[in-house]
Amino acid sequence: MILAFNTTQFTKLHFMKNFILLLGIALLVSASLLCKKGNDNPDNVEPPGAVEIKDSVIASNLNFPWEILWGPDNQIWMTERGGRISRLNPSTGVITPILTINEVESNGEGGLLGMALHPDFSSTPHVFVVYNYDNGSGYKEKVIRYTYNGTTLTSPTLIFDNIAASSIHNGSRIAISPDHKLFISTGDASDPARSQTESSPNGKILRLNLDGTIPTDNPVAGNPYWTWGHRNPQGLVFANNNCTVRNMAPITMMKSISLKKAETMVGLTCRASAINRMSNHSASQIMLSSRSKRGHLPLQPPGLIIIITT
């Protein structure tokens, strides 16, 4: 009896050991096959989760910087509301002034505002800017095209003029579409009725040829507007052949307008928060920070450009 019992126990233990060994081999083979099938990471590095973002000040004591662009020369091109256009080296923080436009009249939110570089800048070094000025009969806004000669901006050419301006709601974001059309955002210049009037260039997204002429396929023949009914559009960007507009408005009315083709009336209910809202704060800085949450940009000392890295 004792011998029979030990033999049975030995048989059971032997079976369990073999079963566990086979199970372990099966799991290892399965895991190996899964890794080979889905391994797109040859270094076997886990994809990152939360990434620490660091910010650093690269320029300060600026006079209300309004537009910043990453140029094809790997420099930051920027406008300051007082009338200066500069290039900023993001590595050293050295600012190289290009031009000061003496005609610029800075008034409240008005002054030298939007800027865009020609998409083929190496062969066509054109720089488009929007600014406010006093023409003797009132505060106005216009679009000028310059040519960059490697040092300064020359050959000012009028593209569009006689846009009403104000101390608020001047729009002034400009962008060039993939088919080389110039889009210009204009605000209602503190008069909402202008955005509802087709004959007024205010409260619109204007669409022009790069020489300032009106494209033949605009919604209304001979009219520069592409959309109308805007309050103060200050965000304008092209991505995937789609133009997205964002307007300044109370936070409760935020809505972006995505325009694949012309729409005749946007309406005052389509107001939204601008992409670059800092130009309307008293601190007036261009600011990117890891502390930003839910679209809020924490206030920093005046006249800063802060760059973020990961």
The answer to whether residue 169 is catalytic is yes
Q: Indicate which residue of 118, 126, 169, 230 is catalytic.
A: 169
Of 104, 115, 107, 116, nearest to 79 by C-alpha is 115
Q: Collapsing DSSP states into helix, strand and coil, what is residue 175? A: strand
DSSP letter for 141, please. Answer: E
Which residues on neighbouring strands pair with residue 57, listed in sequence order? 306
Q: What is the distance between the alpha carbons of residues 242 and 257, in angstroms, rounded to a whole number?
A: 10
Cα–Cα distance, 253 to 103 (Å, whole number):
36
Q: How far is CA 278 from CA 96, 118, 285, in A?
A: 23, 25, 6
Q: How many whole angstroms separate alpha carbon 244 and alpha carbon 256?
A: 7
Calpha distance 56→305 (Å, rounded): 9
Return the DSSP state at 168: S
Q: What are the Cα distances from residue 243, in Å, to 103, 174, 207, 237?
A: 31, 12, 12, 6
Measured distance CA(34)–CA(107) in Å, rounded: 65
- Residue identified by tokens 């964002």 is 246
DSSP, res 49: -
Amino acid, single-letter form, for residue 158: L
CA separation for the pair 286, 34 (Å, rounded): 48
Residues labelled as active-site residues? 169
